[in-house]
Amino acid sequence: AQKVTQAQTEISVVEKEDVTLDCVYETRDTTYYLFWYKQPPSGELVFLIRRNSFDEQNEISGRYSWNFQKSTSSFNFTITASQVVDSAVYFCALSENAGNMLTFGGGTRLMVKP
């Protein structure tokens, strides 16, 4: 059975600080997919990134970057120069091939203060 752990339940930073959100996963499959979603205060779930298990390249998108390490089963998310608008709950999720259902971590609430 798959499992996703986000050990940080809440993080508070001051604007312009860098922050890393941790995600550790467990799966028996060799083929799987990892995701990050953002849930702002308005409540919708916003897709940020998808990564498959065969692609360990790190990815950067603007102020966002992701570090995927199979050796430690981690898929961490870093926000550089955080902004107040980054305040949200961030979810890491895992999907195996069958059915594409997502197993979510417990979420990390990020608060960015001005």
Partner 1 sequence: DTAVSQTPKYLVTQMGNDKSIKCEQNLGHDTMYWYKQDSKKFLKIMFSYNNKELIINETVPNRFSPKSPDKAHLNLHINSLELGDSAVYFCASSPYGGDKNTEAFFGQGTRLTVV
Enumerate binding residues for partner 1 (CB under 8 A): 33, 35, 37, 39, 43-45, 47, 50, 52, 89, 91, 95, 97-104, 106-107, 109
Smallest gap from Cβ 93 to partner 1, in A, equals 8
Smallest gap from Cβ 96 to partner 1, in A, equals 9
Smallest gap from Cβ 81 to partner 1, in A, equals 25
Cα distance between residue 66 and residue 51, in whole Å: 9
Nearer to partner 1, 63 or 106 (CB): 106
Quote the distance between the C-alpha of residue 99 and its chain's center: 21
**Exposed e or buried b for every residue in 69-81, given b needs 16+ CB within 10 A?**
eeeebbbbbbbee
Tell me the CA end-to-end span of the chain in Å, nearest whole number: 41
Nearer to partner 1, 18 or 55 (CB): 55
